[in-house]
Structure 1
Amino acid sequence: MTHLTYIGALHQALHDEMGRDERVCVFGEDVRLGLTGITSGLAAAHGEDRVVDMPLSEQGFTSLATGAAMAGQRPVVDYQIPSLLYLVFEQIANQAHKFSLMTGGQVSVPVTYLVPGSGSRSGMAGQHSDHPYSLFAHVGIKTVVPATPSDAYGLMLSAIRDPDPVAVFVPTFLMGAAEEITGELGPVPLGSARVHREGTDVTVVAVGHLVQTALQVAAELADEASIEVVDPRTVYPIDWATLGTSVAKTGRLVVMDDSNRACGLGGEIVATAAEEFALVTAPKRVSRPDGAVIPYALALDHALLPSAQQLIGALRAVLK
């Protein structure tokens, strides 16, 4: 049995892929130092020509990664703050994402965009606390939000090996998580959901760190209902088959999502379920409020985030 931390899993995935494939390289600010621990030691192990510290110009090195990928490399771009993605959204969504589509598959752009510390950072305010995975899903970029160390390892491998751009969001609340692992780890296919807990009365679809919240609530309410907890793992493309199978069994759905309510991932899952699944009652979603901007005040920060109490209320509403 191996004790695997979430950060250690991402580090090990990068280390293993750099050892397996000499085309894999890392770009970002302070990546040789590796402040989060994800990229620390990689330069010493694999060479400074493959782990490259970049200047404070996210637009510049994001475009560089696109060119490197087109030339045959497999760059991993490390961003220190999730809101930096807004600066580089043109380079990712309008350039890297579209090259393969607009050249009929003649050009591939295998870039992995790694976003450590995404979501609320407990008191670091609005420009450090967004969780914009729904934005990437909306434009059709492959996007993953691992909920466990083993999934972080496996999804990172698949992201690096994929021929298209892939965004990997690392929730702040999971960066200290750990897991006991038995057996060997391997790639987790993109677009494959995971059922963490079987149930028969209601399906909870939870994203990222909210999977643990959902599991805790499911255990707490075990005397009231049998709750199934499903983790999409990949928020684009979503594994609709697994979600549909779960809802066909339970007939009820609650989605717990750490993006803003309007146009968020939770709304998409609820809408698709209403259109295509056999629900016995209206679905519910638990998310941030519309247009939420996280404030400095810690109490207000936490008040805007989806909570266990909100999930309990939603579950009891659909179980009536």
Structure 2
Amino acid sequence: MSAPMSDTAPTIRTALNDALHAHMRRDPDIVLIGEDIGAGGGVFGVSAGLLDSFGPTRVMDMPISESAFVGMAVGASACGLKPVVEIMFCDFMGVCFDQILNQAAKMRFLSDGRLSLPLVIRTTMGAGDGSAAMHSQSLHGLVAQIPGLRVACPATSGDAVTALAAGLHGPDPLVMFEHRGLYDSPGYAVAADAADLPFGAARVARHGEDVTVVALSAMVAESLAAADCLEGDGISAEVIDLRTASPIDGTTVVDSVGRTGRLLVVDGGAAFGGVADAVVSLVARRAFAALKAPPATLTPPHTPVPYARELEAAWLPSADAVSAAVRALMAD
């Protein structure tokens, strides 16, 4: 059986809020920057109460100008502060992409390591709530292609907290894509021997023998639900939660495919050039001889996110779609 949903872990929203409070109490160099993060508590409530606790010099509401406040955060980080920036929706990253691509990602390298950038950019992603094409994208695969950035896509509250800490204490900026459909979920329960995995290490969320299903963020839950269904058909699926889009833990994936011989990668991001393609390419290079069937991917169609609820539901990968893709792999 898959790991059950945890009854005791806090939700991702609560865990991040608690972690921000704790980090800011311990470290006066941590500052929060973003739109409506102060009195509003953030568009999804993650920064609730922080303005009251730490005041406007450390919890700074910004005007609607992502290029300005992300650029400010990059400079502040280079000068010794540890900014946590909130971009309401990852769709808005296009406004400040120069600051992310050409400044944050490169400054440590261009300074020959003299500058360190402990900068966290938090943003949301994911379709499923009828927010249409410009508030529902999942751009983690795009950002993961940028050298110099670390990219986290947590599926559990524990992984969200781990990623936040890694960003605040690492030399390179970290971008955390938080699926807003997961904010009120603690995610699945994590075994004790996997609870302290380092940042960048994938987690085997379910052990299996016949096929390896690799997923991250909201697609982990869909893959685990599919694995439960497939078990009734006598198919044993191993589910791997990548946890991060950059780096990708190729060792865990390759070890699993070496045992199962089959690979399905499930991602809510782009059909072309995204995380799914990167994992397939990695396995083709490192475990080609172990494959019993061509590797497969399951992503949304290569179209903008539909607004109509019925079309959006059909556009998103689901547990049923994962099950169908696995059955097709097993038939090869």
Given the superposition, is the C-alpha separation of residues 13 and 174 from structure 1 closer, same or farther in structure 2, using an over 3 Å criterion?
A: same
Give the structure-2-normalised TM-score. Answer: 0.91
User: Following superposition of structure 1 onto structure 2, how do residues 1-12 of structure 1 map, counting pairs within 5 Å?
Assistant: 2-12=8-18
Corresponding residue number in structure 2 for 1:213 = 222
Whether the 8 Å contact between 1:121 and 1:128 is mirrored in structure 2 is no
Task: String of CA shifts for 1:249-280, please: whole Å, max 9, x gaps.
Answer: 11110000011211111011111111211212
User: Following superposition of structure 1 onto structure 2, how do residues 48-59 of structure 1 map, counting pairs within 5 Å?
Assistant: 48-59=56-67
CA distance in 2, matches of 1:250, 1:187: 26
Pairwise CA distance, 1:190: 2.1
CA distance in 2, matches of 1:159, 1:309: 35
Instruction: Out of 86-95 and 170-179, give the one that drifted further.
Output: 170-179
Q: 1:200 aligns with which of 196, 206, 209?
A: 209
Corresponding residue number in structure 1 for 2:300 = 288
Corresponding residue number in structure 2 for 1:128 = 135
Task: String of CA shifts for 1:199-220, please: whole Å, max 9, x gaps.
Answer: 1111000110110011111011
Pairwise CA distance, 1:48: 1.9
Q: 2:74 aligns with which of 42, 49, 66?
A: 66
Pairwise CA distance, 1:186: 8.3
Task: String of CA shifts for 1:53-80, please: whole Å, max 9, x gaps.
Answer: 0111110000000110011000010011
Secondary structure at 1:147 match in 2:
coil
CA distance in 1, matches of 2:167, 2:260: 32
Corresponding residue number in structure 1 for 2:278 = 268
Give the structure-1-normalised TM-score. Answer: 0.94
Q: 2:186 aligns with which of 178, 197, 202?
A: 178
CA distance in 1, matches of 2:257, 2:53: 47
CA distance in 1, matches of 2:191, 2:237: 26
Task: String of CA shifts for 1:2-27, please: whole Å, max 9, x gaps.
Answer: 44111011111211111121111100
CA distance in 1, matches of 2:190, 2:48: 22
Corresponding residue number in structure 1 for 2:144 = 137
Corresponding letter in the other structure for 2:57? D
Pairwise CA distance, 1:46: 2.0
Secondary structure at 1:93 match in 2:
helix
Whether the 8 Å contact between 2:306 and 2:315 is mirrored in structure 1 is no
Secondary structure at 1:127 match in 2:
coil
CA distance in 2, matches of 1:263, 1:56: 30
Corresponding residue number in structure 1 for 2:47 = 39
Instruction: Give the structure with the larger strand fraction.
Output: 1
Q: 2:241 aligns with which of 227, 231, 243?
A: 231
Corresponding residue number in structure 2 for 1:301 = 312
User: Following superposition of structure 1 onto structure 2, how do residues 95-110 of structure 1 map, counting pairs within 5 Å?
Assistant: 95-110=103-118
Whether the 8 Å contact between 1:210 and 1:257 is mirrored in structure 2 is yes
Given the superposition, is the C-alpha separation of residues 258 and 104 from structure 1 closer, same or farther in structure 2, using an over 3 Å criterion?
A: same
Pairwise CA distance, 1:189: 2.5
Secondary structure at 1:259 match in 2:
coil
Corresponding position: 1:155 with 2:163: yes
Pairwise CA distance, 1:181: 8.3
Corresponding letter in the other structure for 1:312? S
Structure 1 runs, 4 residues or longer, greater than 4 Å off: 179-183, 185-188
Q: 2:21 aligns with which of 15, 27, 31?
A: 15
Secondary structure at 1:152 match in 2:
helix
Equivalent pairs counted in the alignment come to 317
Secondary structure at 2:177 match in 1:
strand
Q: Structure 2 regions of 5+ residues with no counterpart?
A: 1-6
Given the superposition, is the C-alpha separation of residues 182 and 287 from structure 1 closer, same or farther in structure 2, using an over 3 Å criterion?
A: closer
Q: Structure 1 regions of 5+ residues with no counterpart?
A: none
Pairwise CA distance, 1:187: 7.0
Corresponding position: 1:146 with 2:154: yes
Secondary structure at 2:130 match in 1:
coil
